[in-house]
Amino acid sequence: MFGKLVPVPSGAVIPERDIGKRPILNCINLGVTFGGLKAVDDFNLMIGRTEIAGLIGPNGAGKTTVFNLLTKVYQPTHGTILLDGQDTHNMTTAQVNRAGIARTFQNIRLFNDLTVEENVTVAMDAQMKYSMVSGIFRLPSFWKEEKVAHERALELLSLFHMQDLANVKAGSLPYGAQRRLEIVRALATNPSLLLLDEPAAGMNPSETAELMENIRKIRDTFQIAIMLIEHDMNLVMNICEGICVLNFGRVIAKGSPEEIQSNPVVIEAYLGKQKEA
């Protein structure tokens, strides 16, 4: 189903088709400490330009913290993040978003009182070219951008068959549709790397199956990389090409789904947690 994973320097593995192209993400010795707690330590990860990658690990392993480091919610205590070869040191969340990283959150964060379309176009604002003056005075350049944004929003919504919901308030959508809208909103910023934090949380099996198709569709349509945190192992093992496993803030394994499933260290990390529970 997938291309082969191929080792590249530094022990990383990325899909064969992405070899020879600059990785979209390269984390080098990344870490953050809260008080005395090393929430993430010595984190090294390379992601290919069109890879679907998984970040898994028991509760509290540091997965969301990695996303928070990549998106500059937290500044790393040490280490380097190269996004398409560019060091994101000292960038803000907004700058890193403009540079190509978009994310969704574990808990849905939509503007409930705005319409579906407005939720998408708000995300596009950072990319809009009209000046504040033309916005305030509604000059032709403003309306041109508005029209482009409207068309683009409908195009993105249609990807998930949501175009007919454009005028519905986001807060009144069913749960699965809200999750889809979050992804559309993230895509509206034109990312080269899309981070999905537990996209299948709270979904029933048929919604999860649809989500898997949609994740593949996004990668195929936009030719971007996707990294997801997920506890649903069926989803992870079915759609991720490379998987990175964290435990207590450190990478304990990296590899293909087959390698990860048969890795005794990974099995112990998960079973260990079950024994404690």
* Sites of contact with ligand ATP (CB under 6 A): 34, 37, 39, 57, 59-65
- Min dist. Cβ of residue 58 to ligand ATP (A): 7
* Residue closer to ligand ATP (CB basis): 33 or 141: 33
Rounded Cα–Cα distance for residues 43 and 248 (Å): 11
Q: Closest CB to ligand ATP among 39 and 70?
A: 39
CA-wise closest residue to 53 among 217, 240, 259: 240
What does the alpha-carbon distance between residue 178 and residue 176 come to, in Å, rounded to a whole number? 5
Interior angle at CA 18, CA 159 and CA 236, nearest 5: 60
Nearer to ligand ATP by Cβ, of 39 and 211: the residue is 39
At closest approach, how far in Å is the CB of 63 from ligand ATP?
4
Q: Which residues contact 28 (CB under 8 A, 6 or more apart)?
A: 44, 79, 80, 81, 82
Q: At its nearest, how many Å lie between ligand ATP and the CB of residue 65?
A: 3
Q: 37 vs 139, which CB is nearer to ligand ATP?
A: 37
Kindly state the smallest distance separating residue 11's Cβ from ligand ATP, in Å. Answer: 22
Least distance (Å) from ligand ATP to the CB of residue 35? 7
Q: How far apart are CA 240 and CA 2, in angstroms?
A: 9
The residues with which 196 forms a beta bridge, in sequence order, are: 104, 228
Which residues, including other chains, have CB under 8 Å from residue 21's CB and lie 6 or more apart? 48, 49
Which residue is listed with tokens 């380097």? 80
Instruction: Report the C-alpha gap between 242 and 244 in whole angstroms.
Output: 7
Nearer to ligand ATP, 60 or 135 (CB): 60
| Chain centre to alpha carbon of residue 65 | 13
Instruction: Scan for tokens 């993040």, then name that residue.
Output: 81
> Whose Cβ is closer to ligand ATP: residue 60's or residue 176's?
60
154 vs 201, beta carbon nearer ligand ATP: 201
For the bound state, the minimum distance from the C-beta of residue 158 to ligand ATP, rounded and expressed in Å, comes to 32
Minimum CB separation from ligand ATP for residue 143, in Å? 43
Alpha-carbon separation of residue 82 from 77, 99, 183, 248 (angstroms): 16, 11, 23, 24
Termini Cα distance of the chain: 35
